[in-house]
Amino acid sequence: MKFGFSKKKNILFLGVFLTLAISIMLVSSLSSSSGILVREGKNRVVFNVTNSFNASTLVKLNPEVEVVSYKEGNVTFGYVNFMKGIGDDFEIMNGMSYEIYSSENSTLILPQ
Classify residue 101: in a domain, yes or no: yes
The per-residue pLDDT for range 56-95, each reduced to its tens digit, is 999 999 999 999 999 999 999 999 988 888 998 999 999 9
The per-residue pLDDT for range 91-109, each reduced to its tens digit, is 999 999 999 999 999 999 9
User: pTM of this prediction?
Assistant: 0.66
Q: Which domain holds residue 4?
A: 1-34
Residue type, 28: S
Classify residue 20: in a domain, yes or no: yes
Residues 55 and 82 in one domain: yes
3-state secondary structure labels for all residues of the chain = CCCCCCHHHHHHHHHHHHHHHHHHHHHHHHHHHCEEEECCEEEEEECCCCCCEEHHHHHHHCCCEEEEEEEECCEEEEEECCCCCEECCCEECCCCEEEEEECCCEEEECCC
Residues 12 and 50 in one domain: no
How many distinct structural domains can be found in the chain? 2
pLDDT at 91: 94
Classify residue 112: in a domain, yes or no: no
Residues 49 and 100 in one domain: yes
More confident residue, 71 or 4: 71
Residues 77 and 63 in one domain: yes
Confidence of residue 11 (pLDDT cuts 50, 70, 90): confident
Residues 12 and 53 in one domain: no
Residues 5 and 50 in one domain: no
Q: Which residues pair with 46 in a beta bridge?
A: 97
37 phi and psi angles, rounded to 5 deg: -75, 130
